[in-house]
Structure 1
């Protein structure tokens, strides 16, 4: 067998081990919560050796960071929807759908999002990870706002970075309310209301 084939097999085995550990970690986090969960429980559930586990991850925070990235990648796909509106109405339709899908995703991913919220409150590593994810979203929104301003659809005098930050924080506040099941209105009603407020303030 060639060295390439051996390398490929080793790489595949490594990827499978990593995935097994991530799946086990998710189960343990959901069963125990962030603070009570231990990497030992995850390693046991994944049926792999300690040494092997630590080749892939430094500890439970490292594992949760990857799980958070994976979940938030689904949210980011919504933010990345093509945004080239020709009118205020078209912009509002796209934004309303993005907002609704984003908040619906919070509902669908409620269990893991609850773990993330616990972890953000007690771990600086996870808190920093969340801040980095937030900045990625804000940057993406900022690009869309700049496009609308450059094309005469939105108020040019407003700083797009500042507007983007405000818009993301609005969405984030409702996201955590939905995750905690504390929202008093339907996701659709929330999305429609905040989109109308946002687009009325920003668009001409």
Structure 2
């Protein structure tokens, strides 16, 4: 029984390591060649694994990139999930300012792979669907924070928390892609101050 368990554990470990190699290779290949020019063959070769083994884990480069996208965007999502229980308008502003700054700074750190994501969203239906799913998860989290502020009497209750959240994320997303494309003409501090002031000024009492 022990030998069977050891055999299964060893096989699972090899499978996990193969998957990790494919993802690491994919990350490098995508950044070097971009989404459209990158091929699954290049990724498999760099990962030093067989085609049959590789296709057990991923059906193609789209699926592999989606896993990378999940991993990278989870780092952004951790910022959105930061505890949000302000007791005053100023505390809410300070917390939202910090979240916004961290979100945009993360775009700088992940700029290379985010450029690949942007290209893939334009050219792959699968990746585009995944981005819509990711966007919705952010909107839902923000909507919860807005609802909390409304419930505690800090924010206007005549506004729909989901619509407010969708508009707020869209504003951040717009600046996110500007940073990724290096088309932003203002510093992170300037962007953070202006969009946070606009958002909180219209929402909080």
**How far apart, CA to CA, are the structure 2 residues paired with 1:142 and 1:5?**
47
Query: Residue 168 in 1 paired to residue 158 in 2?
Result: no
TM, length-normalised to structure 2: 0.98
**How far apart, CA to CA, are the structure 2 residues paired with 1:118 and 1:154?**
38
What SS does the corresponding residue of 1:152 show, helix, strand or coil?
Answer: coil
- How many Å apart are 1:2 and its aligned residue? 2.2
Partner of 2:62: 61
Corresponding pairs, count: 204
**How far apart, CA to CA, are the structure 1 residues paired with 2:7 and 2:141?**
41
- How many Å apart are 1:119 and its aligned residue? 0.4
**After superposition, where does 1:1-204 map in structure 2 within 5 Å?**
1-204=2-205
- How many Å apart are 1:148 and its aligned residue? 0.3
Unmatched 5+ residue regions in structure 2?
A: none
- How many Å apart are 1:188 and its aligned residue? 1.1
**How far apart, CA to CA, are the structure 2 residues paired with 1:86 and 1:128?**
37
**How far apart, CA to CA, are the structure 1 residues paired with 2:162 and 2:4?**
50
- Runs of 4+ off more than 4 Å: none
- How many Å apart are 1:12 and its aligned residue? 1.0
- How many Å apart are 1:145 and its aligned residue? 0.2
**How far apart, CA to CA, are the structure 2 residues paired with 1:144 and 1:202?**
12
- How many Å apart are 1:177 and its aligned residue? 0.2
**How far apart, CA to CA, are the structure 1 residues paired with 2:32 and 2:16?**
24
What SS does the corresponding residue of 1:82 show, helix, strand or coil?
Answer: coil
Could you give the per-residue CA deviations for residues 82-140 of structure 1, whole angstroms, max 9, x where no partner exists?
A: 00000000000000000000000001100000000000011110000000000000000
TM, length-normalised to structure 1: 0.99
Aligned-pair Cα RMSD in Å: 0.6
**How far apart, CA to CA, are the structure 2 residues paired with 1:78 and 1:188?**
17
**How far apart, CA to CA, are the structure 1 residues paired with 2:121 and 2:102?**
23
Could you give the per-residue CA deviations for residues 161-203 of structure 1, whole angstroms, max 9, x where no partner exists?
A: 0000000000000000000000011011101110011001000
